[in-house]
Structure 1
Amino acid sequence: MKTSNQTLFDNILSTHSHILKRVEGALGSVHGLGLSEYLVLHRLSAAPTKMMSRVELADQVGLTASGVTRLLQPMEKIGLVQRKINERDARKSMVELSSTGARKFTEAQVSFEESLETIFDTLSNQERQSLSSSLKLIA
């Protein structure tokens, strides 16, 4: 019997919610970070210069430009990131990972990876690959 599209959609939403709760619980309780803040630190950490434009960062973490600006304000206040002027185009606002932000990311990355391992350890490698392939088909 085929699963209805509504049932499939409901299962995806339920799984999404479950994963978010587990990951955000680990990041929030231990490191005081939400998933969006963690993703910002992750993207900046992976950038070659540890710096990105706000627009590029927004695109990579799935937020609007104004949404990422609101997210970055408290992160800047507590020293996780710092605002930089783009030397080539002063109209472009850049965000740089601070040394404090790099330390926080390194610490939080352990909790993030542990929470993902707990979530996905019930799946075999073949099931993980199959799930990943299926999700890519609809993305």
Structure 2
Amino acid sequence: MNTSDSTDFCLRLARAATTLSRRFDSGLGNHFGISFADYQLLRQLVRAPGGKLRRVDLAERLGLTASGVTRSLLPLEKIGLVGRQSDPRDARVGYALITPAGSELVTNADALVDQISNEFTTGTDAAQLGALSGLLGRIAGISASQV
């Protein structure tokens, strides 16, 4: 079977993404009781101006549907990591906001995510990581500020 270099890369990328997600899920679940998807959502809120985002903007940043974000937010709201806020000018617009507990959890989880990330990238120089990160961002349609 002869596959092109781009197909080989994409298949390896998909396998790597699965491997990374499993490792992040395991570490974050064991230490903080959240999934990797939860961490990514919380991290987006922490990095947002004022610690809040419209749900539709959060969905776009995470590559989810608006209903998918709503489903993801519900358990995080129940445990006090995120809250809801309505727009006083438009009742149809809803914001998700990080709580102090959610912000603290992300700060603590960042160290574990950094540790796991370093384990996977040991031996790779900064230039290689930068180039690959740029390519992955282009594939995902995101900029560095949206990570």
TM-score by length of 1: 0.89
What residue identity is the alignment partner of 1:66?
A: S
Secondary structure of 1:33's counterpart equals coil
1:13 paired residue number:
14
Distance 1:72-1:10 versus aligned 2 partners, 3 A rule = same
2:145 paired residue number:
none
Distance 1:84-1:23 versus aligned 2 partners, 3 A rule = same
CA offset at residue 69 of structure 1? 0.3
1:110 paired residue number:
111
Distance 1:137-1:52 versus aligned 2 partners, 3 A rule = closer
Segments of structure 2 that go 5 or more residues without pairing to the other structure are 141-147
What residue identity is the alignment partner of 1:93?
A: G
CA offset at residue 63 of structure 1? 0.9
Per-residue CA distance 1:95-121 (angstroms, 9 max, x = gap)? 111111111111111111111111111
Deviates more, 1:4-13 or 1:57-66: 4-13
Distance 1:134-1:62 versus aligned 2 partners, 3 A rule = closer
2:32 paired residue number:
31
Q: Identity percentage over the alignment?
A: 31
Per-residue CA distance 1:63-117 (angstroms, 9 max, x = gap)? 1100000000010011001111112211111111111111111111111111111
Secondary structure of 1:122's counterpart equals coil
The root-mean-square deviation of aligned C-alpha atoms, in Å, is 1.9
1:19 and 1:55 mapped to 2: Cα distance?
26
In the alignment, does 2:82 pair up with 1:78? Answer: no
Distance 1:98-1:128 versus aligned 2 partners, 3 A rule = same
Distance 1:67-1:131 versus aligned 2 partners, 3 A rule = same
TM-score by length of 2: 0.85
